[in-house]
Amino acid sequence: MAHPYWMWVAGGEYPGNGDLIPVEDPATGEIFAYCHSATEEDVRDAVDSAHEAFKSGVWSRESRHRRADVLDKAAILLEAELPELIALEVRQTGRAIREMKAQVPSLTRWLKYYASLLRVEERPVLPTLGKLHNFVDRVPLGVVVQITPFNHPLLIAVKKLAPALAAGNSVIVKPSELTPLTTLRLGAIFKAAGLPDGVFSVLPGYGPVTGAALVKHPLVRKVDVTGGTEAGRAIGAIAGGNLARYTAELGGKAPLVVFASADLQLAVNGIAFGSFIASGQTCIASTRIIVENKVFNEVLALLTAKTAFIATRMGAPANPESMMGPLISAKQLQSVEALVEEAVSGGLTCLVGGKRMTHSSPLDGTDLSKGYFYEPTVLADTDPAGKNMKKTLLWRKEAFGPVIVVVGFETEEEAIELANDSEFGLGAGIWTQDLSQAFRVSEQIDAGITWVNTHHRNDPSSPWGGSKSSSGLGVENGVEAYQAYTTAKSTIINYASTEEALATDDWFRDSAGAVRYG
């Protein structure tokens, strides 16, 4: 067995006292690495180290310019490590390398953005009555915990880390036990960039042990999680017991509305990207496709052809020509299979896909039966009003797989009603060439992010979060994320002369004259 990966704590690699975590290649079912996990004792030691680093001021009171320099240096070092990080990300997630070559290099933008934000941050001076000077600083919270999912290990870790470190906090990340390896590699990168020891730690482990110990620790001042809605509610309940701040990016069931005015080929290309990128394992996957009846059949024809083509281009994730990889695990595969079976038995028609892939890849001969490959799948309702669709779990539940359902509509109002028919409200898409319609519909769709004639655009400056509680609390990205990792510290200085203060500020003086209050 290869030497297992150790935890990253207080500026170095250390063995954990928990069980070894097997890390599986989802494309082959092979256990290719092991990782140490953190026990409650390991968590206590890491939190103590992070708290001591915070109290020392070595980072929390470091100048903003110096913190910005470290983030910029980390971006440079991260870029130098890209080839190895991409290969490792492909191996542990099963994501196609063409996806990772596009996604992972973009991570430097988050480090550079928050470095720039630090350099231009201004201190507001507030209007006050009297001779008072009231200014407000944003100061760090303390020890913060970040819990990241399996689907975008590096992306989500970096987009959380950048604002948290920029603000001056000490950060502990618990990556998914399914994909912990690339996040661990960040430790050495930040250390080489000049981040002081103790400010950043990575503790792999299982949720009920490592995650629970981190979230309930009384010294943790904020918890930031990306994951499923059920887990998010459970974590929030624990964090709330300590009155810790909480940000959660949770489930989604993104609607994508195609109007008759849209360029249909562009729209279908957008559906395929929004639905099948990461094998559909994203919180903003466009899984509910809502198409105007005038173009319903044409869109279905184009979409089924596109989907069938993608299936022929699935092979080894490391193959640059492979378009889509497997699901993350046998458990996730079984979940997707069950949802599709339930939908078909409930009256939906499977137009393309709908089953596990067990043959050799026509692209490169890879034996797909060894991994957790599932065909990209399109389901449609035989009922014009979509009555069967709305009864299925697939319409309501986050599938986290390459499965989409298609339903028609007659009026704009009906499209909006279908789009909002969900407990989730994270992402949504609209395809139309009618600018007035784009504005009109987008403001009525209940989602934190709405894309028009595109999908899954993500920029460090653009807020990313849900509008309904099942999709989470708070936002990532932008100034908002930075401020969420700080608290406002208001300082009020009285610059009146001694004589003025004696005349106006003695509340208990021996006279009946006017005296200030507030």
**Whole-angstrom Cα distance, residue 478 to residue 474?**
12
**CA angle, 56 then 488 then 116, to 5°:** 75
3-state secondary structure of 435: helix
Name the catalytic one among 89, 177, 249, 398. 249
User: Among this protein's residues, is 387 annotated catalytic?
Assistant: no
Give every CB contact of residue 141 below 8 A, 6+ residues apart in sequence.
167, 169, 221, 222, 245, 485, 486, 487
Q: DSSP code of 25?
A: E
- What one-character-per-residue DSSP string does 113-180 give? HHHHHHHH----EE--SSSEEEEEEEEE-SEEEEE--SSSHHHHHHHHHHHHHHTT-EEEEE--TTS-
Half-sphere exposure of 186 (CA within 13 A, CB side): 31
* Cβ 457 vs Cβ 156: under 8 Å: no
User: Among this protein's residues, is 89 annotated catalytic?
Assistant: no
User: Among this protein's residues, is 476 annotated catalytic?
Assistant: yes
The CA distances from residue 401 to 195, 354, 374, in Å, are 38, 11, 8
* Cβ 157 vs Cβ 173: under 8 Å: yes
Beta-bridged to residue 249, according to DSSP, are 226, 472
Name the catalytic one among 160, 191, 222, 468. 160
Burial 316-334 (b: 16+ CB within 10 A, else e): bbbbeebbbbbbbbeebbe
Phi, psi of 132 (to 5 degrees): -130, 140
Q: DSSP code of 256?
A: E
User: Among this protein's residues, is 249 annotated catalytic?
Assistant: yes
Name the catalytic one among 35, 191, 283, 398. 283
Catalytic residues, by residue number, are 160, 249, 283, 476
